[in-house]
Amino acid sequence: MANRTIAPKIIDPVEFDLHLKPYEKKTLDNGIEVYAIDAGAEEVLQIEWVFFAGNWYEQQNMIAATTNFLLKNGTASKTAFQISEHFEYYGAYLNRGCYNETSTITLHCLNKHIEELLPVVQELITDATFPEDELKLYKQNNKQRLSVNLKKCDFVANRHIDEYLFGIDHPYGKYSSAEAYDAVERDQLKAFYDQFYRHGKCILFVAGKIPANLFAQLNKYFGSLPLNNKTLPEGAHPIVQSSNIGSPIRLSNDPEGVQGAVRIARPFPNRHHPDFLNVQVLNTLFGGFFGSRLMNNIREDKGYTYGIHSYLQNHIHSSAWMITTEAGKDVCDATVKEVYKEMKKLREKLVDDEELLLVKNFMMGSILGDLDGPFHIIGRWKNIILNDLDESYFYNSIRAIKSITPAELQELANKYLQPKEYYELVVV
């Protein structure tokens, strides 16, 4: 029996031995790969259909996003209202999303209703009709939303910094406009849908308490579809970076506003680069959590902002290292100077062991939180699989966190935290 008068031993998260629960893999009759995590105590499921139908594959701006949004707004036999009502009746939630390389249809539901729900998801993939009135409403709503957002300095800053990093014609750098919405035609949506959904490439990710007959059900409704039979188009997307790198860029967006948006960013390789995992540790120390250098200086000490963040973008082909914050107009330039000051400190002085241990414990604790429950676990696997990585990436990231030294961090800081290699944008 435990002695309750003696406090349990405190163990730092960095000492934890974390393991990623392996997935179960099945293949449907048409070659669709299904990655599944069978876990959890509740009778719930998450099923995600991932299509390679992001804006990487569109020939005209906004076609991929519009196609994905309107998937559930009408089929050959159901209106948008009937589709929404069907999923609500069974207590299910169906969402869709469009990203740079991929797009998704995501279903959350109770296990017992899967037989009633899967046929309707199949219908969205095979018989979406993109009604003209739904397209008109979509354009109207998004143009109105865009006009409101364009008054916000942070929204404008996010658009421009991506343009500087990748070029306005690159999938990572393009952005929406009223003209782009107006140019979208129903026939273009139907053609994109036919190529990248009805005859596209699809991967399934499943998580939750999986019923014994789920794979048979998935094969019944999706294993005979004409998916995964054609090669994806290559799509040449050269990166055309702005020549303003290393020079201050100042844009005026709202003369009456009191706040400005600061974006400081540099190009960075993708997850396959040998420095990526170690730089994740440096980034966390620099600006990746609430106790970071940037937060302690610019929020806690100077009071310039409510929060400042640094992160590596999760793009598949190439990435960027981004520092973002919003601050009062009168202190935006001072904020930029403090960011560079923190870069200089990391280049010139070794991180002490106590601070590095705090960062390591935070990162290990975050990973532990991401392993809590089947939905989080399949999310980890999805990120690994879509980035063309394997299980070793997870364990290499653990190893990097545990083993990195102050000297290695300083070396990385001197390699990557050089102000002349960053775009510096302030929008006020």
Residues of the chain with pLDDT under 70: none
String of b and e for 127-155 (b: at least 16 CB within 10 Å)? ebbbbeebbeebbeebbeebeeebebbbb
Within this chain, do residues 41 and 153 fall inside the same structural domain, yes or no?
A: yes
Residue 374 belongs to a domain: yes
Within this chain, do residues 202 and 257 fall inside the same structural domain, yes or no?
A: no
Residue 1 belongs to a domain: no
Residue after which a domain boundary falls, among 188, 222, 256: 222
Residue 212 belongs to a domain: yes
Q: Structural domain of residue 404, as residue ranges?
A: 248-427
Residue 2 belongs to a domain: no
Joined tokens for residue 316: 């598949």
Residue 102 belongs to a domain: yes
Within this chain, do residues 216 and 295 fall inside the same structural domain, yes or no?
A: no
Q: 301, 163, 321: which is closest to 309 by C-alpha?
A: 321
Q: What are the strands, taking DSSP E only, across 184-275?
A: 202-208, 248-251, 259-268
CB-CB contact of 278 with 135 (8 Å): no
Within this chain, do residues 215 and 267 fall inside the same structural domain, yes or no?
A: no
What integer pLDDT is reported at residue 269 of this predicted model? Answer: 95
What integer pLDDT is reported at residue 75 of this predicted model? Answer: 97
What integer pLDDT is reported at residue 7 of this predicted model? Answer: 85
Residue 40 DSSP label: -
Within this chain, do residues 189 and 289 fall inside the same structural domain, yes or no?
A: no
Residue 236 belongs to a domain: no
Q: Please state the φ and ψ torsions of residue 195, each to the nearest 5 degrees.
A: -75, -40
Residue 330, SS3 per DSSP? helix
- For the segment 48-101, what is each residue's pLDDT rounded down to a tens digit? 999 999 999 999 999 999 999 999 999 999 999 999 999 999 999 999 999 999
Residue 241 belongs to a domain: no
Q: 231, 131, 235, 143: which is closest to 189 by C-alpha?
A: 131
- For the segment 191-250, what is each residue's pLDDT rounded down to a tens digit? 999 999 999 999 999 999 999 999 999 999 999 999 998 888 877 899 999 999 999 999
Residue keyed to tokens 């999938």: 171
CB-CB contact of 225 with 383 (8 Å): no
| Domains in the chain, number | 2
Tell me the CATH number at 290.
Answer: 3.30.830.10
Residue 238 belongs to a domain: no
Biggest CA–CA distance in the chain, Å, is: 74
Residue 128 DSSP label: B
Within this chain, do residues 252 and 388 fall inside the same structural domain, yes or no?
A: yes
Within this chain, do residues 297 and 351 fall inside the same structural domain, yes or no?
A: yes
Within this chain, do residues 278 and 321 fall inside the same structural domain, yes or no?
A: yes
As a whole number of angstroms, the distance between CA 405 and CA 74 comes to 56
Query: For residue 368, how many other CB atoms are within 10 A of its CB?
Result: 12
What integer pLDDT is reported at residue 146 of this predicted model? Answer: 98
Within this chain, do residues 339 and 412 fall inside the same structural domain, yes or no?
A: yes
Within this chain, do residues 203 and 299 fall inside the same structural domain, yes or no?
A: no
Within this chain, do residues 258 and 361 fall inside the same structural domain, yes or no?
A: yes
Within this chain, do residues 262 and 348 fall inside the same structural domain, yes or no?
A: yes
